[in-house]
Structure formats: structure tokens, C-alpha cells
Chains A and B, each alone.
Chain A
């Protein structure tokens, strides 16, 4: 039994229960979980995120330490890898774009197979790349979709996302599994599946298990909890959507209200989201901001062409030529090496 993930799992379950129980009839903490905590979480997120990023920005970038992943810009007849070893800002932008949007470095994993002796075949080892892409894009789609609860009228790009996301008509399965209505969004399911994959990787691949901390499991469980409660509300324990939107619209228009008929499940869902937001700036999830600031990726590789300035450069003690010649003058002369000062001048 791994302490790291058990602790994280228990933490998420406890958090869920706190919100669920706290908003049941009698406990009456709707105000806390529906209004105070979400506002608090958003403020923590914004302030924490800004502080973290500004903290990074305060540290200097003394040297240009680009990881060059391709041919440098050299003589005109040698083809430069303009993206992998960019010498222009445009190249850097494309490199960063591909890195952030396509996870290009993760894609780099190629594998080789020796087929019967000496013939090589290449294949891509894509599982982590696919898992990561699926996870992040599903998450993004889910976030965009949820804007329907936070906007009135709902903007076109939200409805568009919904339409694309829900293009699979799953209600044909309704008779068999009694689920699939309202229309199924792929993103929710993909998010859950990808989070599960990322979790199972951490449990079953010993290398990854060794390096995993509680801080790696906690956000995964949190996201799984969010996805599960969301899916449950949508397809199984149907909730009063209009009431929920009244609540969420109250939040974003700064006229917070707690309408009648919002279920405890929703408050638990909202609480987990709040926890995620509040936890975000203090965790590895800050890779969202950090990926933009990685000095090995966001700088040009043309250090020999354009000088980079180190803001804290300071003079150091060096062994000058004069000191060197003083040390070795006799021997240099003997060997016929040119010297600046002849020995007799010394005295």
C-alpha cells in the first residue's frame, strides 16, 4: 500500500464529504460552500498565481542556455533546424507554440526495433504523449463548456464547443445502460479516463511510482473527483440546472444568491473545484505558467551571434598574462617563446 496515494485519496474523499454533508438540510452551510469558499478560492488563485510568476520574473536570466535540438544557424548552405534550434524570435515563438500546444518534446520519444538481426524499424512511443494531450485538452474543453453557467447570453464559442464535444449521440444506448441523456460530452469521459491513466501509470510503472509524491496523486484524485461528481450530476442524479446557473451567475455578477433546490452534490463538486483553484498556485500545477518561462526553450540559440547580457555580471579574479609571464619568463625565453619583458628590464 502506498502512503502517498492513500493519503491523497482520503484527503479528496474527506473534502467531498465535508461539502456534501455541510450543505444538507440542517447543516445549512450553503452560504459557506456556495459563496464564501468559491470567492476565496478565486482570489487565492489569482493572487497566488501572480505572486508565483512575478517571483520567477524577479530571478535573473543570466545566460542563454537554450537546449538546441537541431542544426544551428551556420553557413547558408547548411540547412538550419529553424524551430528546434531557433535563431529568430519567430522560431522561438513557433517552438514554444508547438511545445505548449502539441507537447512536442514528449512526442520525441522514438523507439527502435531490430527486426531479425540488423534491420532497424522505428516506432513512436506515444502513450504518455497521448495521455497528456487527452488530459489537457479534455480539461480545457470542460472548462470552456462550463462557461455556459457563467455567461448570459452564452457566447457562440461556448455553444460551439458544446456541439463539437457532444457530437456523439449516446442516447441510442439509453435502453441498455439507462444513461446517455442529456447528450454525452466526450470531454468529461476523456478527462476521467486520462486522469485514471495518469494515475495508473504512477501506480504500476515502478520507475514512475518511485518518483511520485503525494503532491502528484492529490491533484489527480481531485480532478477525478470533480469529473466524477460532474458526470454523476449530469447523467445519473439529475440536478436543477436552472437553479445552479442562478447561483453561478450570482457569483460572477457579484450578486451572490443561494437559490432553492441546489443539491449537495453540486456543492461538493463546487468545493472540489475551489480546492483545486486554491491549491493550484502552491503546487506543481504551476507548470501552466512555468512552461512559458523555461529558459532552455524560450530563448534563441544564436548566442554567438547576439550578445546576451547578464544583469549581475561582476568582475572576477583572473590570472593575467603579465602574472603568467612573471611565473614562467625564464623558461619561455629558454624555449624560444616570445616574451613581453626581458629579464634584465625587470630589475
Chain B
């Protein structure tokens, strides 16, 4: 009796989800709404001069591929094997030990086995074996090889755009196999067929033309900062005067345009402006903005190495044109991966700039000797260390803060302690999240690498869950109500993620906290923070 009652329901759930032990190669890809981003707009693809611009829809059977698409993929694959040892070695040496399997936030959050990093790589590896190895050619399926078919291509597209290139798996891999590297190559190959997503292609096209990924024109960029000037005056009584493309300035400042256009990054942007004004008033340091190089974030990185280089070139070009001494970079994630690991190689040597020295403290930034670009967290930490900033950390007392290490600054650069040092000097309440969710083991926000679109919200929420879960823990344990980060995508993505998983926690950039604590020369008594929220003790 009881047994009869059990069966139908349990069987049902098993039939649906367990296709009789079929291997992953036999599990067809199911392109699901909410998990993918819209196809690239042909205009954007055209602007960049990338191949095969056309309208297409991932949900339709016909992706309007060029006649010889298989040949294009094959040739593209071969070219990249020769150009990148990383790619070739990573194709060859994986032993499929499974150490990475449960380290991916997308696997943890979505439960989709093809989101295990090793399997994501196997999507490409299976084709590699078929096309480029003797064993694969002889053994076929038995040797884990399969020919490139339309279904395989769709699987590539679907899963390569479910990877945020955060490199967490690579930390745990005994051979350092970096799924980001594999995803980057895979996306480059897809781009040869015009298969990008719009959230990447259009920002890249905008960035190329206008200098920022939203396509905001120069005058509007300035209007935006002017608007912040008013806001800042309202809060502090100080009228800051940002400089634009000032020839002969000491330092060129470049930050992701997200800081200029999207809350809560805008408060971080006000933070930069306050800090720069403070340094100008007190120490005469001249820092200039540029509307030409107004985008730090480099969505080209999510398209191809070439596109990355094309967008990145503006930084050095503008620094050279303005004749500054060195470049200061704002809070951004993949912008810093590009600066740290690609920029100097791609567009250097930056021999027209000086080796960066903080003129106020005299500190030589030895670690940025060649790129000549310093992270603002390093810069501010140095200022604080030398006691050059007047700070009142108690103004941040109503914020109980935790710090989210952004993937790229932690695993592609190693900037871990500088932002922490800054937070601990501008605020009094700071708590770390559990050790296997921070520093080099940090969990991605779930929206990096161009996946911060609206249409894939389910994917973003699922991928952001491991991070949110750790935030929830410190929220419940220590009453944390503010999640600090040094990444514009974090500032854009985490509010939604927090809104869904831990609604009581807000998101802030590092320099918003700095500016709240910074005592400006000639300021009025502040009653609110930059967001217009009452300061502690000022609540009515």
C-alpha cells in the first residue's frame, strides 16, 4: 500500500532528471530562458569590424552560420594552439581528477553538471582530440573525442557564456589549469562566427567609439560629473573641481564608466572626486580625468585578445598625449586583470611615463615600475599609512562592513590587503567572511565576464548564491549591513544579488567609505553620508 503511494512521484522526479546514466556527450544542450544572454546586435559587431554580423536568435534552430563554419572553427582552434601555450598545455594535461568540479559558483548554484570547470573545458577538449590528436582520431568516442557539430557549437556558446572567467577553479587545480583561459579561447573562436552576446558586443562597440561602454558622449560624461559636484557640495559644503584632459597634470585617472553612470558606483565616483580635491587643496597634486579614456573596464577582454588590445590602447595613448607622469586606476575588477597581466605586454612599453612615485609621501610604487599604473587602493593605503589624510572613521559607524574580494584583483593580481587596510582605517566595524570564500578563494559575484545582463537574471542569481550565502552568514552573525568591494561589476551586480538573497545588505565601493570619513578642508558639518543617509548621531 505504502509502496504504491511512493512510486509515481519519486519516479517522476527521477525520470526527468536522470537520463539513465547517459554520458554528458549524450545529454543534449537545452538553451533555457533566464540562463543565456541575448545574441549580439549586428550593428555592434559591424562597428568593431568583427566577422559575420547578422541578426540571430539562440532559441531558433538556424543560427545563420557561414557555409564553412566548421573549417573556421578548426582553423581558429589551430591558430590559438600555436599562439598560446596555456591553451595547448591545458588541452593536453588535464587528468580529470575532479578537484575543480565543486569549486565553480555556477555549478554550486545551478547544479548543472556541465558547469563543472573540467566539463566546461571538456566541451572544447573533445573537439581538440578529434581534430588534433592521433589517439582521438583513432579511438573516437572511446578516446573522448567528438566531431564539431551544430549541437556541440550551441553547447559551447551556452556554457562558455555561463563562465565568469573568475579563475577560482584554477587555484585548486594541481596543474593550474585555468578555465578562464579556455573560456577566453572558446569565446574568441565563437566570435569568428559572429556568436557573441549583446551585453558584451554593444559595450565593446560603444567603448571603442565613445570611450565608455554605455556610449555616453563626452559632454554627457562631464554633465554627469558636474551633477556629482552639486551632490558633493550638498553633503559637504565643498565644491570640488574635477579637471578634464588637463595637459601637464601629474596623474591621469581612469576608472570604469560604471562608476560614473550606475548606482551605487556613483558614490564611489564622488569618493574619488573628494579625495582628489583634498589632495589638490592640501598638497597641490593635479589629477585629471579624460573623456577619451573614460572607460577602465575592458569588455574587449570578453571578446578576444585583439579587441582587448584595441580598447586598452586608449589608456597609454591618452597618458602620452596629456604628458602626465603616471596613471592611477579606479576600483574595477577585470580592468585590473587587463592592466596587471596584459596591458604592458600589449600596448607597452610605457617608456614615455615616469616610474610611479607618490609625490605626497615619496613612496615608490616598485610593483608598478613597468606599467606605470597604480591602483587607487594602493595609493590611498599609502596615503593613510603616512598619515596624509584626515579621517573620521566614526562617520561610517552605522555601517558594519565586510569585504568581497573581486575575482580579478585577487586571482589575477593579488591585491588583498591594501583595500582591507583602507577599510580598517576609515571605518570601525569590519568583519571577514569565512576563509574559503575570501581572498584567493573568493566567490564570484556571478555576473562577471560580460554576464551582467538583465535577461539572464536566473543565472546571475544562481551563480551569485555562494557569495550571497557567505554574506548572509556574516549578516546573521555580526550584523553586517554593508558589502564593500573594489569592482564596478560587483557594484552593479551585487545589489541585485543582495536584493534577492540578503536584502538587508547594501553594496559600497571602497572610496565611498574613504570619502565619508575624509575631513575636507573647509567642509561644513556633515549630517549625511554621500547617499544622503543620516550620519550616526544625526538621525532625527
Question: Which 9 pairs show the lowest CB-CB distances between chains A and B?
Answer: A72-B414, A290-B93, A335-B219, A68-B414, A296-B176, A213-B144, A297-B176, A59-B85, A85-B414
Q: Which residues of B contact A336 (CB under 8 A)?
A: 222
A286 with B92: CB separation less than 8 A: yes
Indicate whether A58 reaches chain B with its CB closer than 8 angstroms: yes
**Whole-angstrom CA separation of A110 from B99 in the bound complex:** 12
* B412 nearest in chain A by CB position: A68
* CB within 8 Å for A52 and B176 given contacts A78-B417, A128-B99, A210-B24: no
Q: List A300-347 residues whose CB lies under 8 Å from chain B.
A: 301-310, 312-313, 316-321, 324-325, 327-328, 331-332, 334-338
A75 with B86: CB separation less than 8 A: no
* B21 nearest in chain A by CB position: A2
A108 with B97: CB separation less than 8 A: no
Q: Which residues of A contact B342 (CB under 8 A)?
A: 63
B381 with A65: CB separation less than 8 A: no
Q: Which residues of A contact B310 (CB under 8 A)?
A: 316-319
A sample of 21 cross-chain residue pairs with beta-carbon separation below 8 angstroms, ordered by A number, consists of A56-B92, A67-B412, A73-B366, A73-B367, A74-B367, A75-B378, A106-B172, A110-B436, A122-B435, A211-B116, A215-B143, A284-B93, A286-B93, A301-B413, A303-B344, A307-B345, A308-B344, A308-B345, A310-B346, A318-B317, A335-B219
Q: Which of B134, B219, B344 contacts A282 (CB 8 A)?
A: B134
- Pick the most buried of A78, A87, A309: most chain B CB atoms within 10 A of its CB: A78
Which of B369-377, B483-491, B527-535 faces chain A?
Answer: B369-377
Shortest Cβ distance from residue A326 to the other chain B in the assembled complex, whole angstroms: 12
**Whole-angstrom CA separation of A112 from B340 in the bound complex:** 32
Q: Which residues of B contact A59 (CB under 8 A)?
A: 81-85, 87-89
Q: List A35-86 residues whose CB lies under 8 Å from chain B.
A: 52, 55-75, 77-79, 81, 84-85
* B474 nearest in chain A by CB position: A118
**Whole-angstrom CA separation of A275 from B434 in the bound complex:** 48
Shortest Cβ distance from residue A8 to the other chain B in the assembled complex, whole angstroms: 9
Q: Which of A77, A105, A122 contacts B385 (CB 8 A)?
A: A77
**Whole-angstrom CA separation of A70 from B382 in the bound complex:** 20
A7 with B369: CB separation less than 8 A: no
Shortest Cβ distance from residue B388 to the other chain A in the assembled complex, whole angstroms: 14
B96 with A213: CB separation less than 8 A: yes
A64 with B414: CB separation less than 8 A: no
Q: Which residues of A contact B246 (CB under 8 A)?
A: 338
Q: Which residues of B contact A324 (CB under 8 A)?
A: 211, 292
B92 with A68: CB separation less than 8 A: no
A67 with B178: CB separation less than 8 A: yes
B476 with A118: CB separation less than 8 A: yes
B95 with A304: CB separation less than 8 A: no
The chain B residues found within 8 Å of chain A, CB to CB, are 21, 23-24, 49, 81-90, 92-99, 101-102, 113, 116, 118-119, 122, 133-135, 139, 142-144, 167, 170-178, 181, 208-211, 217-219, 222-223, 244-247, 291-292, 305-306, 309-310, 313-314, 317-318, 321, 339-342, 344-346, 348-349, 363, 365-371, 373, 378, 381-382, 385, 410-418, 421, 434-436, 439-441, 473, 476-477
Shortest Cβ distance from residue B205 to the other chain A in the assembled complex, whole angstroms: 11
**Whole-angstrom CA separation of A65 from B410 in the bound complex:** 13
Indicate whether A214 reaches chain B with its CB closer than 8 angstroms: yes
B143 with A213: CB separation less than 8 A: yes
**What interface size band does chain A fall in?**
35 or more
Q: Which residues of A contact B418 (CB under 8 A)?
A: 74, 78
Q: Which residues of A contact B23 (CB under 8 A)?
A: 210
**Whole-angstrom CA separation of A336 from B175 in the bound complex:** 54
* A60 nearest in chain B by CB position: B83
Indicate whether A130 reaches chain B with its CB closer than 8 angstroms: no
B98 with A128: CB separation less than 8 A: yes
**Whole-angstrom CA separation of A213 from B369 in the bound complex:** 47
A58 with B82: CB separation less than 8 A: yes
A72 with B367: CB separation less than 8 A: yes
Q: Which of B122, B142, B209 contacts A214 (CB 8 A)?
A: B142
Q: Which of B99, B348, B368 contacts A109 (CB 8 A)?
A: B99
Shortest Cβ distance from residue B452 to the other chain A in the assembled complex, whole angstroms: 23
* B371 nearest in chain A by CB position: A304
Indicate whether A163 reaches chain B with its CB closer than 8 angstroms: no
**Whole-angstrom CA separation of A330 from B315 in the bound complex:** 23
Indicate whether A165 reaches chain B with its CB closer than 8 angstroms: no
Shortest Cβ distance from residue A171 to the other chain B in the assembled complex, whole angstroms: 37
**Whole-angstrom CA separation of A65 from B414 in the bound complex:** 12
**Whole-angstrom CA separation of A340 from B411 in the bound complex:** 40
Q: Which residues of A contact B49 (CB under 8 A)?
A: 317
B92 with A284: CB separation less than 8 A: yes
* B351 nearest in chain A by CB position: A307
B178 with A321: CB separation less than 8 A: no
User: Quick one: CB contact mask for A109-120 with B, threshold 8 Å, 1 for yes?
Assistant: 111100000101
**Whole-angstrom CA separation of A77 from B387 in the bound complex:** 14
